[in-house]
Amino acid sequence: MSAGLGYAMLWSWLAAALFAHVGGAHMQDLSHYLDSAHRVMAGQVPYRDFVFEYPPLALLPLTLPALLCSTMTVQQYGWYLVLFNSAWSCGIAACVWLMGRRWMSERRAWAAVAMYLGLTVLGTALFPFRFDLFPTLLTALALLLAMGGRPALSGMSLGLGVATKLYPVVLAPVILARWLAIGDRRAAARFALGATGATVVAVAPFLVAAPNDFLSFLRYHAQRGLQIESVAAGLLMLRHLTGHLSLGVVENYGAIHLQSPAASAVLPFLLPVFAISLAGLTVLSYRCFRSEVAERGRSSDATLAGCALMSLLLFLFANKVLSPQYVVWLLPFVSLVRWPAYAATVAATALTLALFPFHYGSLVGLETLAVATLNVRNLLLALAMLWLVLTQRRAWAPSVAPARDPAVSTTSSR
């Protein structure tokens, strides 16, 4: 408890000190957060009364800081947001420790917590000023509950995460694949029911209040172009630097996007590529879990953490948007895998921070060093993904006859 409080105080102090230097880069997002919170507190309904670009449960982490004071400046709101994010980060650290203790020694589990906290400190100039730590906490909790054999609660936590920022949905196929691999269809059904039920409960009031406009946040993102920090955009910018492609940039939808026929031509392929890749990853995960059950009569929690991390990395690669705060999504899981993936993520996080908030203007200007930095960052994430895939090479081994009791596992369908 005292260690968590000490970390929260230190992180808050570092964030406050850095805010004096990088606060300008965060003002647009913080102003949007505060405006949305004030509108909700005034009784307005998102989607119906004002434009809101996130799923409805995002209002919770955005509104809580505004409740601490009836009137506040954007800068004051940023400080309160940091305090809440410190609390969410402590919760994630607890999840990391509890997950790690399922297959690590106590010393190694504490090392994983330290690795996680080190990454958050490295990202102090960015992470405390976004609300992504809240859905990250829900996602980490979902995986922890899945490891502990609580499928319904795991699904509920994942569903609430989806109702906050959509991206946790990519973990659902991997978690389902594990229960199916150990032969526990009842647990798979309870997980799916819990996830669906929690999502429906979270969004239903807003759907009833704004039936015609509720899906506007999905249309908002569907209409976005190729964001400048995405993997595809980075490759196009490299071609631009060699003189083989003409590119421009445009600011809309609260971000910077590439403006070019080439960027428009790439966009339609990203979603199908992601869907096919996710299906392949799900099959790979299933075979990994199945192989473990056949060999040892149970499925490894470490493998589940690695497959979850691969799912998130895959989503980043195929997404048309790769905002810098998305790196936060990886932190709880990359701290639990072996050092090559962790080291690559540390370096990628450092390069992400070098671009935003410190040298984002250079990237927008398509300057050579900034474009190279972005592509090295993306390459490091790709190397982390490649290493994780190669460590699951048993999935390509010949099929092994199943164990006598394939339902025996570290999890149960309680």
Residue 403 domain flag: no
Residue 67 domain flag: yes
Distance CA 192, CA 196 (A): 6
Distance CA 363, CA 241 (A): 12
Average pLDDT along the chain, 414 residues, taken 10 residues at a time: 78 89 92 96 95 96 92 92 96 96 95 96 96 98 97 98 97 96 96 98 95 91 93 96 91 91 94 95 92 88 95 95 96 92 96 95 96 97 92 54 40 42
Residue 213 domain flag: yes
Residue 404 domain flag: no
Phi, psi of 66 (to 5 degrees): -70, -20
Residue 317 domain flag: yes
Residue 41 domain flag: yes
Spatial CB neighbours of 412, under 8 Å, sequence gap ≥ 6: 149, 184, 187
Residue 236 lies in domain: 2-396
Structure tokens at 219: 């249309």
Distance CA 149, CA 157 (A): 14
Q: What is the pLDDT of residue 8?
A: 84
| Parallel, antiparallel or unpaired: strands 255-259 and 248-252 | antiparallel
Q: How far is CA 163 from CA 53, 167, 168, 294, 336, in A?
A: 12, 9, 9, 36, 26
Q: Residues 324, 352: contact at Cβ < 8 Å?
A: yes
Q: What is the pLDDT of residue 296?
A: 87
Phi, psi of 113 (to 5 degrees): -60, -45
The residue among 282, 289, 293 whose CA lies nearest residue 403 is 293
User: What distance separates the 2 farthest-apart alpha carbons in the chain?
Assistant: 66
Q: How far is CA 203 from CA 159, 160, 173, 207, 273, in A?
A: 10, 10, 22, 6, 29
Residue 401 domain flag: no
Q: What is the pLDDT of residue 1?
A: 62
Q: Per this entry, what is the length of the chain?
A: 414
Domains identified in the chain, total number? 1
Q: What is the pLDDT of residue 404?
A: 40
Structure tokens at 11: 């992180």
Residue 409 domain flag: no
The single residue listed with the structure tokens 């070098």 is: 354
Q: How far is CA 139 from CA 153, 259, 279, 407, in A?
A: 12, 34, 20, 25
